[in-house]
Chain A
């Protein structure tokens, strides 16, 4: 796999690439956590620093007192126990040592505080070296005391009047209070910062959700268009995504227009071809010589072919997005009115039932084509009764049943009629049933078309189509 760092980081952070909300929240959270961690670290270290500085002050005072109290000659250094109760009490946590550097760089203790008893003042090996390097400066360090207490220690090296070799003063104090304070402060700080961080992340999340709401709205609207509940995007959107909505609408309009144009082209072509064919058919029909027979037969074949392929082209032009909803009852009604009039001499009556709110998710012309063909067939074959019933079957589907009381089709012929429609490329046009166009259109709408025997005695055509609500 080729390394794609951003993708990998994305994956690590719960795939933010999949969701804008998550991406925004993750980025903001990462930044907030980083900033708060830094703040917490600085705050606690500052707090500890200031505690240690306070201890440093106490230690320096002790050292100053020791320097003042110490009298030195070339041979002796005398330091009395200074007046500080804590340096007198055994292992009180406050200690001092006065000493001098040996030639090998170690410390020789001359006097120690009573509190220290005869324990050693903990000191790093390099202490004398460091003191000599920064002569007169104070060095601070942490160490563990004689009874295991944490100590803060300050040391300095001084040259006293009356003595040529320098004297080392070391003072120590228990820092467990400071440590405890620091810990408490840290705990408090981290808790407060954690709370703040959680609050901020929540705020970011809410902000993002609210900020992105128009996108969710847009998504819902687009879904509505797809489901056929709307034909275009209607709501006003913020300027950042308004162009997107606008483009979407243009695309929808363009789609509609393309379908429309295709249909017009197809219609024009049909018109252009049909008149000459009519002429040929009629002209040849009037004579009975062999040439006329050929012309008539071939014209007839051409007519069926033109019919068939134009209808296929029309059916194929449908595939695109269509936001249209067509009231089913209305189309059945107009077909019934028309066909009853056309078949008036036969006395055909069409009894139809469809719920008022039932709508076909697709174009009116297509439903007209489907019902027109099926109902015309039914009227053609019926002995006077045609029944059409439509209803929703749930989950965005509906069913339309067209039945007649005519002779019907035996089962093997029904199958043959359907199979012809199914094998579109080899379909023989002009079967007189118009079933291939029904089959093709139904397929274009991802519906189902089947034939059965009707209780009324004739053929029962069943259409399953996508529905929408009005």
Chain B
């Protein structure tokens, strides 16, 4: 497993490098944002550990660039500030997990193992519908290249609609596929979630077919999916 460690503090980098190497990873180290971006772009890493406070180019920008270029490598961000707003901006940029400094090395290793397990799972082809893209491997979706922020339920809803795009899907069908047994199946719930997804991807992408259900379609002018 190859890991890219992006961290500017020399002592911390040395330690983490040793710990990661001991855990069986092949470690590359980048001390600043520019080098990190270059390495991440050119080498096929399995996972990336990214410190947010970096010289030259900050971590969030580096991450944003990778995601814009279509890199789906799982990224764990390290924040020193511990403020939730930093974590949120990291996630908006496309992070998969966070750790607040200072942390225990074992914690980092455990998180990396979880990330790798996740990304190694069901590798399915990317789904597309007009400007809408959904990558089941990274569990990420985007509209016209802009990453979408979806909760897991919203993601599942969109995933289901995309797998059956162009077909009318009834509310009952959605409820059955989205919720497990003991979930509170209140019929309004689906409407709430469809409303939220609409707000995030653009209302006109999900059509309401009166009395029947919902249908996901590409916008007029967008190339229809093959």
B-binding residues in A (CB < 8 A): 267, 270-271, 274-279, 281-283, 285, 299, 303, 307, 310, 314, 333-338, 340-342, 344-345, 349-353, 364-365, 368-369, 371-373
A338: B residues at CB distance < 8 A: 87-88, 91
A303: B residues at CB distance < 8 A: 102
Closest Cβ–Cβ distance, residue B126 to chain A (whole Å): 18
A467 to B59, CA, bound (A): 34
Nearest to B92 among chain A residues (CB) is A334
On whether the beta carbons of A282 and B105 are closer than 8 Å, the reply is yes
A349 to B169, CA, bound (A): 23
Among A267, A299, A338, A340: residue with most chain B CB under 10 A: A338
Task: Identify whether the interface residues of A are mostly helix, strand, loop, or mixed.
Answer: helix
On whether the beta carbons of B97 and A341 are closer than 8 Å, the reply is yes
Report if B83 contacts A (CB, 8 A): yes
Closest Cβ–Cβ distance, residue A386 to chain B (whole Å): 11
Report if B212 contacts A (CB, 8 A): no
On whether the beta carbons of A353 and B192 are closer than 8 Å, the reply is yes
B164: A residues at CB distance < 8 A: none
On whether the beta carbons of B149 and A333 are closer than 8 Å, the reply is yes
A274 to B105, CA, bound (A): 14
Which one of B64-72, B129-137, B150-158 is at the A interface?
B150-158
A-binding residues in B (CB < 8 A): 9, 11-12, 15-16, 19, 53, 80-85, 87-88, 91-92, 96-98, 101-105, 114, 117-118, 139, 149-153, 192, 196
Nearest to B199 among chain A residues (CB) is A356
A295 to B24, CA, bound (A): 27
With A274-B80, A334-B91 already in contact, the answer to whether A349 and B153 are too (CB < 8 A) is yes
Closest Cβ–Cβ distance, residue A446 to chain B (whole Å): 21
Closest Cβ–Cβ distance, residue A301 to chain B (whole Å): 12
A405 to B101, CA, bound (A): 29
With A341-B97, A342-B97, A372-B84 already in contact, the answer to whether A279 and B151 are too (CB < 8 A) is no
On whether the beta carbons of B88 and A368 are closer than 8 Å, the reply is yes
A124 to B81, CA, bound (A): 107
Nearest to B8 among chain A residues (CB) is A275
B88: A residues at CB distance < 8 A: 334-335, 338, 368
A341: B residues at CB distance < 8 A: 91, 96-97, 139, 152
On whether the beta carbons of B152 and A307 are closer than 8 Å, the reply is no
A336 to B150, CA, bound (A): 9
16 residue pairs A–B, Cβ–Cβ below 8 Å: A271-B81, A274-B101, A275-B12, A278-B101, A279-B11, A279-B15, A282-B16, A282-B19, A310-B82, A333-B196, A334-B88, A340-B152, A344-B118, A352-B151, A353-B192, A368-B84
Nearest to A375 among chain B residues (CB) is B84
With A282-B15, A353-B192, A364-B85 already in contact, the answer to whether A342 and B98 are too (CB < 8 A) is yes
B152: A residues at CB distance < 8 A: 340-341, 344, 349-350
A277: B residues at CB distance < 8 A: 101-102
Nearest to B106 among chain A residues (CB) is A285
B19: A residues at CB distance < 8 A: 282
A285 partner, pick from B83, B105, B139, beta carbons under 8 A: B105
On whether the beta carbons of B9 and A279 are closer than 8 Å, the reply is yes
Nearest to B111 among chain A residues (CB) is A342
A314 to B83, CA, bound (A): 10
